[in-house]
Amino acid sequence: MENIDVVDLENPKGCNLILGYSHFIKTVEDLEEIIKTYIPKASYSITFSEASGDRLVRFESNDSELEKTGIKNILNLKCGHTFLILIRDAFPITVLNAIKNCQEVGSVFAATANPISAIVFRGKNGGAILGVIDGFSPLGVETEEDKRKRREFLRNIGYKR
């Protein structure tokens, strides 16, 4: 029977998550090369679910906690050709363009440290991610003081001068 599920993804404290669609077994190694090139000291886990052949969860990791969490998340999603990256001590902005330019990557659904849920369509052959719920709904519009704090924050973490 076809239906739509909401799948909550686990994101360990202090980590960021990148969720996307990719089409080939080479994905895991290519994404690992990107992470090691751009953020060599980051802890990470990369998981990828095959959609044909052996249909295994492929993974690379240098952190056992992130590895277990990544595998658990990808198994809960039950969507073929899906990848999930967990990184600690780094921001997705550092690798996001390189990931989007990776030959196998078709799309990126989210890059976040927020609580996140995937909206998944379940069909007769498997699941497909329709979109994500990233964080929470807005509570208002920023004030001049909020703008000042935003600009100060970006300079404090080194993304602006």
Would you give per-residue pLDDT tens digits along the chain (161 residues)? 799 999 999 999 999 999 999 999 999 999 999 999 999 999 999 999 999 999 999 999 999 999 999 999 999 999 999 999 999 989 999 999 999 999 999 999 999 999 999 999 999 999 999 999 999 999 999 999 999 999 999 999 888 88
Residue 100 lies in a domain: yes
Residue 77 lies in a domain: yes
Residue 143 lies in a domain: yes
Q: Which two tokens stand for residue 61?
A: 């990791």
Residue 48 lies in a domain: yes
Residue 40 lies in a domain: yes
Residue 95 CA to residue 112 CA, distance in Å, equals: 13
Residue 34 lies in a domain: yes
Residue 63 lies in a domain: yes
Model pLDDT, residue 161: 85
Residue 161 lies in a domain: no
| Beta strands 127-134 and 82-88, pairing class | unpaired
Contact 63, 81 (CB under 8 A): no
Residue 85 CA to residue 88 CA, distance in Å, equals: 10
Q: Which two tokens stand for residue 127?
A: 């699941």
Q: Which two tokens stand for residue 101?
A: 């330019």
How many domains does the structure of the chain reveal?
1
Which residue is associated with the tokens 């039950």? Answer: 78
The closest alpha carbon to 69, from 53, 56, 55, 85, belongs to 85
pTM, whole model, 2 decimals? 0.93
Domain that holds residue 100: 3-156
- Three-state SS for 125? coil
- Three-state SS for 141? coil
Q: Say which CATH number the domain at 65 has.
A: 3.40.1520.10
